[in-house]
Amino acid sequence: MSEFSLIQRFFAEQAGLPGSREGTEQVSGLRVGIGDDCAVLDLAAGEELVTTTDTLVSGVHFPEDAEAELIGQRALRVNLSDVAAMGAQARWFLLSLTLPDEDENWLEGFSDGLFSAARQYGCSLIGGNTTRGPLSISITAFGTVPKGKALLRSGARAGDEIYVTGSLGDAAAALGVIGLPDTWGTIPGSQKEATASLIKRYWQPSPRLAEGLVLRDLASAAIDISDGLLADLGHIAKASDLGAELRLAALPQSSALRAAVSNDAERNVLALAGGDDYELCFTVHPDKVSVLDGEIAEGRLIASRVGRMVAGGGMRCYDKNGQEVSFDKSGYQHF
C-alpha cells in the first residue's frame, strides 16, 4: 500500500467524519483539508489560534504491545489537554505517523481510536503524513480563543487561590500495572493491584476542554498537569515570579485510588508527582473565588481548592496539622 492509499483508507475516507476530504466544507474555518501541500485555516475575526505539538514513542510513552485503539485515542487526548489549559476551543489537528510496517489491523484500530476522540472533543483531522520507522505518533493540535483571552502560566498573583480539576494520582497508580518504564520510582508492589478504573484514567485521560472554557474569565493562570502537580504548578510559580503553598489534605483523590493505595503518604506522592493526570491546575484571584465556587456548586466544573500562591519562590506542602512536609523534585517524600 502506498502512503497515499494508506492515508486515504485509514484517515481521509473515514466516512462521515469531518476529517474526510468530502467533509472539508463542513468543518468550520477549514478552507483546505487533507490532500494538498498544506491545510488552510480561516480564523473568524477576533479569534486567536493556539497550537501545540507532542510526540508519543512506542516503548517510552506506551508499551510496545498496547492496543492500537487505546494508543490512537490517547495520543489525541493528551495533545488536547494543552489546548484546554489555554482556555481554548479544540478545532483541528495534524497527524504525523511513523510506522515500522503496514499492519492493517493496527491501522484500523489506531484510526478508530483517534477519530473516536476527535468526535468526542469536536476536532477534525486536517492533514499530516505517514512515514516508515520505529512506531511514534506526533500530533499538532489547534484551538481558537477570543483575542487576548488565552490563559497563560504567567498570570498568577500572590494571594491567588490554587485549584485543580478532577482528581490526581490515578494514572500514576496504574502505571505499574500497565508496564511502562517506572519513572516515579517509589511505588511498592502492593499497588500493582490498581483497579480497572485507574488504568482507564491512564489510557483515557479527559482533556478538560469544557472546564477551560468556563475558566477563561475566571482563572488568572492555568496549566495542564502532565508531569505531576508539583512540577506543573512550579511552572506557573516560575512564570509568575511567585511561590506556592499546598495543603496535602485538600488534594483530590478518587475512591479508586484510596482503595488501591491505603497509605496516605504514598497516595500524596502519586497525587503530587505521579503525572499523566491531564487535569488542569489554575489560579483564581480572591475577588473571583466566590464566582468560581458558584460554578463548581452548579456542577459546571469539578475542581478543588488546594493551596495559595505566595510572594517569593519555592513550593511548600503542609499536612492537616499545618506541619510542613518536604518533597524533592521527583515527589519523593522526606520525613
What residues make contact with its own copies under the rule CB under 8 A?
A: 31-32, 35-43, 45, 48-55, 57-61, 82-83, 85-86, 88, 94-96, 98, 126-129, 131-134, 136, 138, 140, 142-143, 145, 147-148, 150, 152-154, 222-224, 239
Burial category of 71 from C-beta neighbours within 10 Å (exposed 0-12, middle 13-18, buried 19 and up): buried
Cβ nearer to its own copies, comparing 117 with 194: 117
Cβ nearer to its own copies, comparing 131 with 263: 131
If we measure between CA atoms, which residue out of 335, 334, 234 comes closest to residue 275? 234
Least distance in angstroms from the C-beta of 249 to its own copies: 28
Least distance in angstroms from the C-beta of 70 to its own copies: 19
Strand partners, 138: 55, 96
The dihedral sign for the CA sequence 59, 64, 66, 67: positive
Cβ nearer to its own copies, comparing 144 with 195: 144
Alpha carbon of 13 to those of 36, 60, 123, 318: distances in Å? Answer: 15, 30, 16, 54
Asked if 106 and 68 touch (Cβ cutoff 8 Å), the reply is yes
Least distance in angstroms from the C-beta of 22 to its own copies: 14
If we measure between CA atoms, which residue out of 136, 176, 161, 138 comes closest to residue 274? 176
Least distance in angstroms from the C-beta of 67 to its own copies: 20
The radius of gyration of the chain's CA atoms, rounded to the nearest angstrom, is 21
Cβ nearer to its own copies, comparing 96 with 197: 96
Least distance in angstroms from the C-beta of 319 to its own copies: 28
Cβ nearer to its own copies, comparing 3 with 264: 3
Least distance in angstroms from the C-beta of 199 to its own copies: 22
Cβ nearer to its own copies, comparing 38 with 297: 38
φ/ψ of 328, rounded to 5, equals -90, 180
